[in-house]
Amino acid sequence: MGRWEPNARGRLVEAALELYSSRGYDQTTVAEIAKRAGLSERTFFRHFTDKREVLFGGASEFQEQLVRALDNAPVALPAIDVVAVALEAIAGGFSERHEFARRRQTIIAENAELSERERIKLASLASALADALRRRKVSEPAATLAAEMGIAVFRVAFERWIRETNQPDLPHILRGSFEELKTVTAGK
């Protein structure tokens, strides 16, 4: 193992975001990220498998948290409310990451391959939610529909949250978006 580098991971993320923003994701190499962070490539690869993982490394942890929150939701709730409760429960943890999320989203939106990767991650999140609902004995197609609705609402709320600058509250925006979903679906 190499020597300990203070906050190596945070420095690598910051260096990567700066380079992805200024010169573009495709034009940035791992060597350049490491150099800008004042660290070695070896240290980079102790924290990330590749340059894409700097942007998507949190996805599996997010999925695990979400499934756990869903498993812990009250039994008597309808499927759509189980999904809403689970999403709101973990949305609270996002507040410190607003600045990172905003910069990350700009980089992803400007790159077709990264945008596709983001969509795939969201689809796999929806599949994991549907699996967890079926474990709660929610039948099909209700499980798939509730999971897909939840992820669509989350995406809409997340994008609104990112655009706001005055200490926006993701759980609050999420609740509002679920209300909009109900209005839209009822055809009002």
Residues that bind a second copy (CB under 8 A): 78-81, 116, 119-120, 123, 140-142, 144-146, 148-149, 152-153, 155-156, 160, 177, 180-188
Q: Which residues contact 42 (CB under 8 A, 6 or more apart)?
A: 2
Closest distance of CB 82 from a second copy, Å? 10
Residue closer to a second copy, measured from CB, 37 or 133: 133
CB of 86 to a second copy, least distance (A): 15
Residues in contact with 133: Cβ distance below 8 Å, sequence separation at least 6, in sequence order: 70, 79, 82, 83, 142, 143, 146, 147
Instruction: Report in angstroms how near the CB of residue 150 gets to a second copy at its nearest.
Output: 10
Assess contact for 37 and 12: CB atoms under 8 A: yes
- The residue among 129, 116, 130 whose CA lies nearest residue 55 is 116
Question: How far apart are CB 147 and a second copy at their closest, in Å?
Answer: 9
In this complex, which beta carbon is closest to a second copy, that of residue 90 or of residue 142? Answer: 142
Given the complex with a second copy, which of 26 and 116 has the nearer CB atom?
A: 116
DSSP, res 139: P
Residue number with CB closer to a second copy (89 or 142): 142
Q: Which is nearer to a second copy, 16 or 143 (CB)?
A: 143
Rounded to a whole number of angstroms, the minimum distance from the CB of residue 48 to a second copy is: 21
Closest CA to 98 of 7, 14, 11, 170: 170
Of 61, 94, 83, 89, which Cα lies nearest the Cα of 151? 83
Alpha-carbon distance of 96 to 107, in angstroms, equals 19
